[in-house]
A = this chain, B = another copy of it.
Amino acid sequence: MAGVSTDPNKLGSIIFANMIENRKKGMLGANVYAVNPVHDHIGDQRCYASIASLPEAPELLIIAVPESLTLGLIRDAAKAGVRAAVIVTSGYAESGKKDVEREIGRIASGHGMRILGPNTIGLIDTWSGVDSLFLRPTKMLPDGKEISSLRRPLRGGVVVITQSGHLGEVISEELAANKVGIRALVGTGNQLDVSIEDVIQYFADDPYAKVMAVYLEGLRDGRRFMEVAAHAAERKPLVVFKVGKTQVGARAALTHTSSLVGDYGVYQAAFRQCGIIEAASVQELIDYSISLSLLPEAAGRRAAIVTNAGGVGAISADEAEKAGLQANQLEAEAQRRLRSVFRGEGFASNAALGNPIDLTASASTDAFVAATKQVLSLPQFDLALLLPTHQTPAIGTEIANKLSPVILEAKKPVAVCVIGNSDLASRIHLEFMSNGIPSFPTPERAVRALAAAASRRDCRNEAASFRKVVRIRPRASSSESRLSSLEVGKPLRSCGIAEPRSVVVRTIGDLGKLRGVPFPVACKLLTAQPLHKKDIGGVMLGIGTSAEAESVFSRFRRLAARRGLAFEGMLAQEMVADGTELILGSTRDPTFGPVIALGMGGTYTELIRDHALAVAPVGPAEVKKMLELTKLGRILGGYRGEPKVDEEGLCKLVSSFSRILIENPSIEQIEVNPLIATTTSILAVDARMILKKDHR
Q: Which residues of A from 345 to 400 have beta carbons under 8 Å from B?
A: 349-350, 361, 389-393, 396-398
In the bound complex, do residue B149 and residue A423 qualify as a contact, i.e. CB atoms below 8 Å apart?
A: yes
**Does chain B have a CB within 8 A of A469?**
no
**Does chain B have a CB within 8 A of A472?**
no
In the bound complex, do residue A424 and residue B149 qualify as a contact, i.e. CB atoms below 8 Å apart?
A: yes
In the bound complex, do residue B318 and residue A169 qualify as a contact, i.e. CB atoms below 8 Å apart?
A: no
Could you tell me the distance between the alpha carbons of A151 and B244 in the complex, rounded to whole angstroms?
39
**Does chain B have a CB within 8 A of A281?**
yes
In the bound complex, do residue B535 and residue A424 qualify as a contact, i.e. CB atoms below 8 Å apart?
A: no
Contact of A423 among B95, B148, B282 (CB under 8 A): B148
Q: Contacts of A9 on B, CB cut-off 8 Å?
A: 393
Known contacts A246-B321, A634-B607; A166 and B424 CB within 8 A of each other: no
Contact of A635 among B243, B282, B312, B607 (CB under 8 A): B607
Q: Which of A67-75, A170-178, A666-674 contacts B (4 or more CB under 8 A)?
A: A170-178
Known contacts A94-B350, A243-B318, A442-B281; A166 and B361 CB within 8 A of each other: yes
Query: Whole-angstrom distance from the CB of A161 to the nearest CB of chain B?
Result: 13
**Does chain B have a CB within 8 A of A147?**
yes
In the bound complex, do residue B420 and residue A173 qualify as a contact, i.e. CB atoms below 8 Å apart?
A: yes
In the bound complex, do residue A532 and residue B640 qualify as a contact, i.e. CB atoms below 8 Å apart?
A: yes
In the bound complex, do residue B391 and residue A421 qualify as a contact, i.e. CB atoms below 8 Å apart?
A: no
Number of identical monomers bound together in the oligomeric complex: 2
Known contacts A311-B215, A608-B631; A444 and B281 CB within 8 A of each other: yes
In the bound complex, do residue B314 and residue A243 qualify as a contact, i.e. CB atoms below 8 Å apart?
A: yes
Residue-by-residue, is A87-117 near B (CB-CB < 8 Å gives 1, otherwise 0)?
0000000110000000000000000000000
Could you tell me the distance between the alpha carbons of A317 and B244 in the complex, rounded to whole angstroms?
8
In the bound complex, do residue A318 and residue B135 qualify as a contact, i.e. CB atoms below 8 Å apart?
A: no
Residue-by-residue, is A480-506 near B (CB-CB < 8 Å gives 1, otherwise 0)?
000000000000000000000000000
Q: Which of A138-146, A289-297, A521-529, A655-663 contacts B (4 or more CB under 8 A)?
A: A138-146
Could you tell me the distance between the alpha carbons of A147 and B610 in the complex, rounded to whole angstroms?
54
Q: Contacts of A534 on B, CB cut-off 8 Å?
A: 640
**Does chain B have a CB within 8 A of A164?**
yes
Q: Which residues of A from 106 to 163 have beta carbons under 8 Å from B?
A: 135-136, 139-142, 147-151, 163
User: In the complex, what residue of chain B is closest to A138 when comparing beta carbons?
Assistant: B424
Query: Whole-angstrom distance from the CB of A601 to the nearest CB of chain B?
Result: 13
**Does chain B have a CB within 8 A of A510?**
no
Could you tell me the distance between the alpha carbons of A243 and B321 in the complex, rounded to whole angstroms?
13
Contact of A535 among B215, B310, B641 (CB under 8 A): B641
Q: Contacts of A628 on B, CB cut-off 8 Å?
A: none
Could you tell me the distance between the alpha carbons of A392 and B150 in the complex, rounded to whole angstroms?
10
**Does chain B have a CB within 8 A of A536?**
yes
Q: Contacts of A166 on B, CB cut-off 8 Å?
A: 309-312, 361, 389, 391-392
In the bound complex, do residue B398 and residue A142 qualify as a contact, i.e. CB atoms below 8 Å apart?
A: yes
Query: Whole-angstrom distance from the CB of A397 to the nearest CB of chain B?
Result: 5
Could you tell me the distance between the alpha carbons of A282 and B442 in the complex, rounded to whole angstroms?
8
Contact of A640 among B147, B245, B312, B603 (CB under 8 A): B603
User: In the complex, what residue of chain B is closest to A247 when comparing beta carbons?
Assistant: B321
Tell me which of A151, A169, A315 has the highest count of chain B C-beta atoms within 10 A of its own C-beta. A315
**Does chain B have a CB within 8 A of A167?**
yes
**Does chain B have a CB within 8 A of A419?**
yes
User: In the complex, what residue of chain B is closest to A307 when comparing beta carbons?
Assistant: B166
Q: Contacts of A390 on B, CB cut-off 8 Å?
A: 139, 149
Contact of A318 among B141, B246, B350, B536 (CB under 8 A): B246
Could you tell me the distance between the alpha carbons of A402 and B147 in the complex, rounded to whole angstroms?
18
Contact of A397 among B141, B167, B422, B631 (CB under 8 A): B141
**Does chain B have a CB within 8 A of A639?**
yes
Could you tell me the distance between the alpha carbons of A281 and B442 in the complex, rounded to whole angstroms?
9
Query: Whole-angstrom distance from the CB of A682 to the nearest CB of chain B?
Result: 20
User: In the complex, what residue of chain B is closest to A11 when comparing beta carbons?
Assistant: B393
Query: Whole-angstrom distance from the CB of A440 to the nearest CB of chain B?
Result: 11
**Does chain B have a CB within 8 A of A427?**
yes
**Does chain B have a CB within 8 A of A217?**
yes
In the bound complex, do residue B164 and residue A311 qualify as a contact, i.e. CB atoms below 8 Å apart?
A: yes
Q: Contacts of A610 on B, CB cut-off 8 Å?
A: 608
Could you tell me the distance between the alpha carbons of A153 and B88 in the complex, rounded to whole angstroms?
47
Residue-by-residue, is A583-625 near B (CB-CB < 8 Å gives 1, otherwise 0)?
0000000000000000000011001101000000000000000
Q: Contacts of A424 on B, CB cut-off 8 Å?
A: 139, 147-150
In the bound complex, do residue A419 and residue B604 qualify as a contact, i.e. CB atoms below 8 Å apart?
A: no
**Does chain B have a CB within 8 A of A554?**
no
Could you tell me the distance between the alpha carbons of A608 and B393 in the complex, rounded to whole angstroms?
49
Could you tell me the distance between the alpha carbons of A309 and B174 in the complex, rounded to whole angstroms?
18
Q: Contacts of A551 on B, CB cut-off 8 Å?
A: none
Could you tell me the distance between the alpha carbons of A150 and B428 in the complex, rounded to whole angstroms?
13
Residue-by-residue, is A420-441 near B (CB-CB < 8 Å gives 1, otherwise 0)?
1111110100000000000000
Q: Which 6 A/B pairs are nearest by Cβ-Cβ distance?
A: A164-B311, A177-B421, A149-B424, A166-B309, A148-B423, A167-B311
A and B contact pairs by CB, cutoff 8 A, 17 listed: A147-B427, A148-B424, A149-B423, A166-B310, A166-B312, A166-B389, A170-B419, A173-B420, A174-B421, A245-B318, A246-B317, A281-B444, A283-B442, A283-B444, A536-B641, A604-B635, A607-B639
User: Which residues of A are at the interface with B, using a C-beta cutoff of 8 A?
Assistant: 9, 94-95, 135-136, 139-142, 147-151, 163-164, 166-167, 169-170, 173-174, 176-177, 215, 217, 243-246, 281-283, 309-312, 314-315, 317-318, 321, 349-350, 361, 389-393, 396-398, 419-425, 427, 442, 444, 532, 534-536, 603-604, 607-608, 610, 631, 634-635, 639-642
Contacts A282-B315, A534-B640 known; 9 new A-B pairs at CB < 8 A: A95-B350, A140-B397, A148-B422, A150-B424, A217-B314, A244-B314, A281-B444, A603-B640, A608-B610
